[in-house]
Structure 1
Amino acid sequence: MASSELAATYAALILADDGVEITADKIVALTTAAGAEIEPIWATLLAKALEGKNVKDLLSNVGAGGAGPAAGAPAAAGGAAAATDAPVAEEKKEEEKEESDDDMGFGLFD
């Protein structure tokens, strides 16, 4: 990542930490005060990407894999085994689908 991109990201994090609305003008002002010159378009894009989002929540849920909490997190140990079986079940369905194509009487190399 280029230093100007990092500077814009750090500026957005500073604004979020202070509870200040993240805008392009504020990102540019912070980066300029820090001595890092960035193009205003990048500040605008970053501000629009973060618009309406709670940056602190985004950082807290980095490992969650999505917008919601991790699936099965409050479940007991038995729930963890069921979660690991789900990908295996999907693979079996895909294999069955592939086998059904062979039953049509033609294949890729016939």
Structure 2
Amino acid sequence: MASQDLAATYAALILADEGLEISSEKIVSLTQAANCPVEPIWATLLAKALEGKDVKEILTAIGSGSGGAPAAAAPAAAGGAAAAADAPAEEKKEEEKEESDDDMGFGLFD
């Protein structure tokens, strides 16, 4: 089952790389040509999930690790130093919460 999922995903990536429309028929034909047939229902579900989305852009965003960059860039552009000063304070609060768990009088392996 996992190989069928991967085959369908790879077929969708091949279609996106070639600039072709990702459709269930094309996914099925590519997987059959690769000798790893996929049930048409799974190809249809994958094609509908990717419908209207730019697969290359999704891969670029994931691969670059810039998932939080747009959110971080907006406060920096608007607030400047004030936004930069708030970031360390938030991190410090999170660390304090983690340390407070140790004050309960018992440990994980006691």
Decide whether aligned partners of structure 1 residues 64 and 34 sit closer, same or farther in structure 2, where only a CA change above 3 A counts: same
Q: Deviations over 1:48-79 (max 9, x none)?
A: 0000000000101113448xx53114748954
Cα distance in 2 for residues equivalent to 1:5 and 1:59:
18
Matches within 5 A, 1:24-63: 24-62=24-62, 63=65
Please list every run of 5 or more consecutive structure 1 residues that lacks an aligned counterpart in the other structure. 90-110
For the residues of structure 2 that align with 1:29 and 1:17, how far apart are their CA atoms? Answer: 16
Runs (4+) of structure 1 moved beyond 6 Å? Answer: none
Q: What corresponds to 1:107 in structure 2?
A: none
**C-alpha separation in 2, matches of 1:84 and 1:31:** 50
Judged with a 3 Å threshold, the aligned counterparts in structure 2 of structure 1 residues 86 and 5 are, in CA distance, closer, same or farther, namely: same
Cα 1:86–1:7 change in 2 (3 A) is: same
Q: Is the 8 A contact 1:22 1:51 kept in 2?
A: yes
Partner amino acid for 2:21?
E
Which residue does 1:82 correspond to in 2? 86
TM-score normalised to the size of structure 2?
0.65
Paired with 1:40 and 1:29, the residues of 2 have a C-alpha distance of: 10
Structure 2: distance between partners of 1:81 and 1:33: 57
The structure where helix makes up a greater share of residues is 2
8 A Cα contact 1:8 1:31, kept in partner: yes
Contact 1:22 1:50 in 2 (8 A): yes
